[in-house]
Structure 1
C-alpha cells in the first residue's frame, strides 16, 4: 500500500484509488452507529492532531494554542511535522486530523481548501555580515547560505538562480527552520525562508528580516482534512490564525 522513497513513505497508485471509496464506506458506518451530538468547544475534551511544517508551527501554532486556551480550555492539541510529501501517509496512518500545507499535491480523497498565499524573505545578522540593507544581489550571492529543506539538498532559491544563470554557496543545510537562530546569530551568513517564519523568528531572536534581492514569487497554502473526521470549528480556528498572522505582515 505504501512504498519508501527519499521523501518518506508514499501511497501507491492502488492505495490512492482505494482511498475515496473506503472513506465513503467509513462515513456511512459512522453515521449508522454513532449518536450525533452538538460539538461544544467550551466543554469538549477532544484532542486534535494538526500536521504542518515547522515554519507554520512557529508562525501560527502559538495563535492556535492561545485561542484554544481561551475558548476551549479542555481541548488539547498536538502539532505534528508534516509537508506535502508526507501528508497523505500521515492521514492514512491516522496520525493527523487536519493539515496546513504549502502547495499540496494530494491524490487521495482528502478535502482541500486554499486559505491564502505566502512568500519568502531573508533572515540574517547584518552587523555580523558587515552589510547595510536593503540586501543587494551581489552581496546576497557572496554570503554563505543556510539552506532549510526537507530533502536537505536544494530549494526554491537554487531553482530561481539557475534560471538566471547564477548560483549560491550553501554552507550548511538544515531540515527545521527553528534551528536557524544559533546558526545565524553573530555569523556571516544568510537564510531564505517563508516570510511568516522569518518574521516570527526575528521577533524572538534579534535577527533581521529583509526582502530577497531576487523574485521568488508566492505560493498557495491549503487546509486539508478527511471528510469522515471533519470539525468545522477547528478548521475555522486554523484559518483565522493564518489570516491573523498574514494581517500583521502587511
Structure 2
C-alpha cells in the first residue's frame, strides 16, 4: 500500500485521541476531555494500534503507559494539531504594523498621480514593512490576473470589468478640465466654444479608458478640433502646455496636479463633457483576505466621497 493510500485510510480524528491519551495517561480522563465514551476511546486506540503496528499505550496499574513509538510520535502529533488550530481553524489577521507583504495595485498613470502620494504616505506610516507595486496591464489581461490572485486591487476607471466574481466600491466622481499655459495669447481664465474648436490640441491616448469619454462626446456632438500632438501618456503634458500655445483636456485630478508643478491654468471646458466614477475593484478570491480588506479600507478612507 502506498503512502497516499495509507493517508486516505487514516482518520485524522485519531490524532486527537492519541494526544489526549498522551497528556492524561488515563483512558477515562481522555474520554471525558473528548466527550466520548470509554469504549469509543478503546476502539480508537485499537484502530491506531493496527494502522501504526504498535501498541502505543499499554494498560498499566497506574494508567496508560506510552510505548517508545508513542514517545517519538507525541511531539509530531502535537505539532500537527497545533498547526491545524493556528493555521486552519483560526481566522487569519492582518496587523499593518507587523505585516511584511507586497500589494499589487492596477493603476493608470492618471491613477498614480491621483492616488499614490497620499496612499503611500499612509501606508509608510501605518505599515512600514509593506511594499507597493503598481502595474498597468492591458484590459484583456485584467480578469486573468485577478482570478490568479496576481493583483490585489484595481483603483481607477475600469468600465469593462464586470461579473459576479468582481466586487467594486465607488470612491468619487469627477469630470474634465482644459489646460493652457499661463499668459496664453488667446485663453485667459476661461475658454469659449469657438476658442476650443480653433486652437490646436494635445490628445493623450492612454491605456486608461477615461480619454474615450472625451473623444466619444466630441464626436457624437460634432465638435471638431485640430489634434496637433498625440501622446500615449501624460508625463510630458505639463511642460508641453507650459511652453506652447497648445491646450489639452485631462481628468480633473490630473489638471490639479499639473497646475501645482507647471505654469498652466485650469479651465472649465466649454462643453458638458460627462463625468465618471473612480472605483475600487477586487476579485471574490480576495474579498475576505484581511490584508486586502485593510488596503481597501485605507483607500476608501482617503479617497471615498463623503
Q: Say yes or no: TM over 0.5.
A: yes
Distance in structure 1 (CA, Å) of the matches to 2:158 and 2:105: 17
Task: Describe the SS at the equivalent of 2:229.
Answer: strand
Alignment match of 1:102 (pick from 157, 162, 172): 157
Output one character per residue of 1:90-130: Cα deviation in whole Å (capped at 9) or x when no partner. 42464421001315222442222222212111122042454
Residue 81 of structure 1: aligned partner: 136
Residue 249 of structure 2: aligned partner: 192
Alignment root-mean-square deviation, CA: 2.5
1:40 paired to 2:95: yes
Q: Which has the higher contact order (CA 8 A, sep 6+)?
A: 1
Task: Describe the SS at the equivalent of 1:238.
Answer: helix
Residue 123 of structure 1: aligned partner: 179
Distance in structure 2 (CA, Å) of the matches to 1:89 and 1:138: 46
1:234 paired to 2:291: no
CA separation of 1:87 and 1:211: change in aligned 2, threshold 3 A: farther
Task: Describe the SS at the equivalent of 1:127.
Answer: coil
1:65 paired to 2:126: no
Residue 134 of structure 1: aligned partner: 190
Distance in structure 2 (CA, Å) of the matches to 1:217 and 1:72: 37
Residue 111 of structure 1: aligned partner: 167
Distance in structure 1 (CA, Å) of the matches to 2:189 and 2:284: 48
Residue 264 of structure 2: aligned partner: 207
Q: Please give the TM-score of this superposition, normalised by the length of structure 2.
A: 0.63
Q: Please give the TM-score of this superposition, normalised by the length of structure 1.
A: 0.76
Unmatched segments (≥5 aa) in structure 1: 1-31
Unmatched segments (≥5 aa) in structure 2: 1-86
> Which structure has the bigger radius of gyration?
2
1:13-24 residue pairs with structure 2 within 5 A?
A: none
Q: How many residues align?
A: 213
